[in-house]
Amino acid sequence: QVQLQESGPGLVRPSETLSLTCAVSGGSISSDYWSWIRQPPGKGLEWIGYIFYTGSTNINPSVKSRVTLSVDTSKKHFSLDLSSVTAADTAVYYCARLKIRGGNFDSWGQGTLVTVSS
Amino acid sequence: EIVLTQSPGTLSLSPGERATLSCRASQSVSSSYLAWYQQKPGQAPRLLIYGASSRATGIPDRFSGSGSGTDFTLTISRLEPEDFAVYYCQQFGSSPLFTFGPGTKVDIK
């Protein structure tokens, strides 16, 4: 069973870039789509974007100008960069496996809280 | 953008009771692309139902999904103590490609 683990700084200063990595284990990174989803404290879920192992991406228009997704198949991880962050970007960030044929997220990391504050 | 609305916001029930959760879409959603998730405090969401009515791996049969078009339902036939949580519906197919409803909290009466 695939397992996902997010890693990265828990605190980012306003206007800087939030960078997170998701390590994939127990399965092949080259056979699925991989996604980032976030959840502000006490609020609902927002899909950020997905990446295929080839590097093909699709990103939510609400953050498209600020988001870069990348994948490293040799290291079995994929990454999120979110630039020019503000307090509104404070959230728990989840990585998840996307089953594109069904359009659902069947495996999730435990999530990592990123706070944007000076 | 397809907006998903969930009702009620909170459902207060006792163990053993039946829970009926609603998810309504602002535009028609393909049944193939409607999913439900359960989230407990401090945990990641867990996929329960996909394709509107198919249970994900390991999900007990007390969970069932139904619906089509703009109206979908998640039913928990008999609530177990571990079922008290927040439930989200999610659609795939309209920009943004994936959206979630605001959630229904099922708490203990």
pLDDT in tens, B41-60: 999 999 999 999 999 999 99
What percentage of chain B carries pLDDT values higher than 90? 93
Tell me the per-residue pLDDT of A57-81, one tens digit each, with 9 for 90 and over. Answer: 999 999 999 999 999 999 999 999 9
Per-residue pLDDT at A41:
96
Sign of torsion over alpha carbons B48, B51, B57, B61: positive
Q: How many CB pairs under 8 A join A and B?
A: 64
Per-residue pLDDT at B31:
84
Among candidate residues B87, B99, B90, the one with its CA nearest the CA of residue B10: B87
Instruction: Considering only residues B96 and B80, tell me which one the structure prediction assigns the higher pLDDT.
Output: B80
Q: What mean pLDDT is predicted for residues B24-37?
A: 94
Tell me the shortest Cα–Cα distance from A102 to chain B, in angstroms: 6
Adjacent-strand bridge partners of B95: none
Unique residue bearing structure tokens 């998840």 = A96
Average pLDDT value over all residues in chain B = 96
Q: For an interface test with B, give the residue of A6, A45, A57 to mutate (most B CBs within 10 A).
A: A45
Q: Which of B47, B93, B99 sits opposite A47 (nearest CB)?
A: B99
Q: For chain A, how are helix, strand and coil distributed in percent, rounded to 5?
A: 10, 55, 40
Residue of B nearest to A1 (CA): B57
* Backbone torsions φ then ψ of A88, nearest 5 degrees: -65, -15
Distance CA B104, CA B59 (A): 19
Per-residue pLDDT at B96:
87
Chain A residues contacting B via beta carbons under 8 Å: 35, 44-47, 50, 58, 60-62, 94, 96, 99, 102-106, 108-111
Tell me the per-residue pLDDT of B81-103, one tens digit each, with 9 for 90 and over. Answer: 999 999 999 999 878 899 999 99
Per-residue pLDDT at A101:
92
Q: Which residues of A touch B88 (CB under 8 A)?
A: 44-45
Tens digit of pLDDT at every position of chain A (118 positions): 899 999 999 999 999 999 999 999 999 999 899 999 999 999 999 999 999 999 999 999 999 999 999 999 999 999 999 999 999 999 999 999 999 999 999 999 999 999 999 9
User: Coil, strand or helix: which one is B81?
Assistant: helix
Unique residue bearing structure tokens 């959230």 = A91
